Amino acid sequence: MFVARSDEKVLGYLGRALSLELSAVQQYSTQARLVATWGLNKAAASLQQEAEEEMAHSDRIIERMLALGVAPGSSQLRPVKLATDLSGLLRVNQQFEAEIISLYSAATRHCSTVGDHDNRVFFETLLQEEQQHLEQLDNWLQKLQQIPEKPQQRNPQPVRRNRRMR
Ligand SMILES: [Fe+2]
Ligand SMILES: [Fe+2]
C-alpha cells in the first residue's frame, strides 16, 4: 500500500506533467512518421529523437511519483496536433513546449514557496530541459525558413543475403 508523503499540489503538478509528457511522446512520434511519408528523413529522425526525450521525462516523473508514494492513475492524452508542412508542425510543437514550460515554472515556484527542496530541483531540471527544447525548436524553425528541407528518396530496402551465396 502506498502512503503519500508529499503535498497534494505537488502530486497534481506531477500528474499534469505526466499527461503532457506522454501526449508529447504521442505527438512527436506521430509527426515523425508523418514527415517520413513526406520524404523528410532528417526531420523524421529529429522528431523521433524528441519523442524519445519526452519518454525519458515521462519515466522520470513516474519514478518520482512512486518515490512519493503514489502510482500514476489518471494520465490523459491530448489529441495529436498536425499541420500540412514541417514549419506548421514545429509551430504546433512550440506551443506545446511553451505550455509545459509554464507548468514546470509554476511547479518550481510552488516548491520554492513551500520549501520543498527536492521537488523544486526535480521540476527545475525538467524546466531547463524544456527551455532547451523550445530554443532548439526556435532555431530549427528559423533555419527552415532560410533553407527548407528537401524531400529525400526513401532508403532502399536492405539487400537480403542469400546464405547459399559465397
Ligand atoms: Fe518533456
Ligand atoms: Fe520537450
For residue 77, give the DSSP letter. Answer: P
CA of 46 to the centre of ligand 1 (A): 15
Query: CA-CA distance, 14 to 6, in Å (whole number)?
Result: 11
CA of 20 to the centre of ligand 1 (A): 8
Ligand approaching nearest to the C-alpha of 131: 2
Query: CA-CA distance, 70 to 13, in Å (whole number)?
Result: 13
CA of 77 to the centre of ligand 1 (A): 14
- Check residue 18 and give its pLDDT: 97
Statement: residue 15 has pLDDT above 90: yes
CA of 130 to the centre of ligand 1 (A): 6
The mean pLDDT of 67-94, rounded to a whole number, is 94
* Mean pLDDT of the residues in the chain: 91
CATH second-level architecture of 8-145? Answer: Up-down Bundle (1.20)
Ligand approaching nearest to the C-alpha of 55: 1
Query: CA-CA distance, 2 to 5, in Å (whole number)?
Result: 9
* Domain residue limits, the chain: 8-145
- Check residue 73 and give its pLDDT: 85
Query: Percentage of the chain surpassing pLDDT 90?
Result: 81
Of 3-12, 22-31, 38-47, give the lowest mean pLDDT range. 3-12
Longest dimension (CA), the chain: 71
**pLDDT band for position 4 (cuts 50, 70, 90):** very low
For 163, the grid coordinates are 546464405
For the segment 112-158, what is each residue's pLDDT rounded down to a tens digit? 999 999 999 999 999 999 999 999 999 999 999 998 888 886 554 44
Query: CA-CA distance, 94 to 7, in Å (whole number)?
Result: 31
3-state class (DSSP) for residue 28: helix
**pLDDT band for position 7 (cuts 50, 70, 90):** confident
CA of 97 to the centre of ligand 2 (A): 5
- Check residue 132 and give its pLDDT: 98
> What are the Cα distances from residue 81, in Å, to 26, 34, 53, 96?
10, 12, 19, 10
> What are the Cα distances from residue 87, in Å, to 4, 8, 75, 100?
43, 39, 29, 20
**pLDDT band for position 47 (cuts 50, 70, 90):** very high
Of 4-18, 77-91, 145-159, give the lowest mean pLDDT range. 145-159
Statement: residue 159 has pLDDT above 70: no
Statement: residue 162 has pLDDT above 70: no
